[in-house]
Structure 1
Amino acid sequence: MNIALLLKTSDLNPKILEDRGAYIQAVRQGVSGKIVEQAVKALGERELFVRLLSTSSGNLNRLYHSKLLSKVQTEGVLDTLKVFDEAINVFGDENLAKEWLHTSIPALNGESPVSLCDTFEGRKLVRETLSAIEYGEFA
């Protein structure tokens, strides 16, 4: 689930999740479907990306070969990577982050964070929850 390694081995700027300018530029240009393939492999979250990209499991494989994803698809993929990266940073451990992402959280109406990552508002809510955890508001 190493997001940094995923970014280093892609054609993306490794600072894309930290640098708003680079992030916006990447969204405007679109990223290749190869990024989706690498993200699915790195995170092990195939079903999440199927929901996120509003496609079927079979069509997800076709997206892997897309030269450029649309702005909406690109932003969804990059924003999801950002959520996973933030979880790793908050918990300081990839395994703990992944466990939390797949746990039913009372503050998220009993849903798991990963189940909310297929929408912008869901990802925003997960980031807000991570921020609250980081600042000791709740665990």
Structure 2
Amino acid sequence: MKHARKYQVQENTLMIVEDPGATYVSGSGYYDFIELSRSGVLKRALVNLSRQLSFSLAELAQVLHISERTLQRYADDAKLSADTSERAILLSRLYQRGTEVFGSLENFKEWMRTPLPAFNYQLPISLLDTTFGFQLIEDELGRIEHGIFA
């Protein structure tokens, strides 16, 4: 049963929780993310995440920097590469943070698909193909959280 536990941990790690008290990133949490990135996220966990976020396969492939076809070829219990896993974890963490700031996943998902002046009237979701885009969105979430609107 050791494998069943590991699958559950991965699926929970990439789960967006709408309870702000359930935040799983602490100082030691980063080591867990590093280990998970290195060992590889299961495709099953990634598919669950994409459903939660309402991401199409094309959108997910763009964020993860892999082709749609490559993503389709993975078996559900296959592990993704370290780079792909890391980007999946970044995506999950960003949406967790957005859920905390906006109070619900649905509100944050709507915000991510709205052209905003803070992002040159681009959709925030369109910035997720670079780590700079992730950081830009994180920074904006911090401003919103503190009542500083651009």
**What TM-score bracket applies, with the shorter chain setting the length?**
0.7 to 0.9
Deviation at 1:117, TM superposition (A): 1.3
How far has the Cα of 1:86 moved from its partner?
Answer: 0.8
Q: Deviations over 1:51-78 (max 9, x none)?
A: 0233333332223536221111011000
Which stretch of the first structure deviates more once superposed, 26-35 or 128-137? 26-35
Q: Aligned equivalents of 2:76 and 2:106: distance in 1?
A: 30
1:32 aligns with 2:30: no
Q: Is the Cα contact below 8 Å between 1:40 and 1:49 reproduced in 2? A: yes
Structure with the larger RCO, 1 or 2 (CA within 8 Å, 6+ apart): 2
- Please give the secondary structure, in 1, of the residue aligned with 2:10: coil
TM-score normalized by the length of structure 2:
0.77
> In the TM superposition, what are the counterparts of 1:24-63 in structure 2 within 5 Å?
24-46=34-56, 47-63=58-74
Partner of 2:10: 12
Q: 1:11 is paired with a residue of what secondary structure?
A: helix
Count of aligned positions: 131
Cα separation, 2, equivalents of 1:22 and 1:127: 21
The question of 1:67 aligning with 2:78 is answered yes
Is the alpha carbon distance of 1:33 and 1:73 closer, same or farther for their aligned partners in structure 2, counting shifts above 3 Å? same
Residue 79 of structure 1 pairs with residue 77 of structure 2: no
TM-score (norm: length of structure 1): 0.82
Shift of 1:14: 4.2
Give 1 or 2 for the bigger CA radius of gyration: 2
Percent of pairs identical after alignment? 27
Q: CA deviation at 1:40?
A: 1.5
Residue segments in structure 2 that go unaligned for 5+ positions in a row: 1-6, 15-23
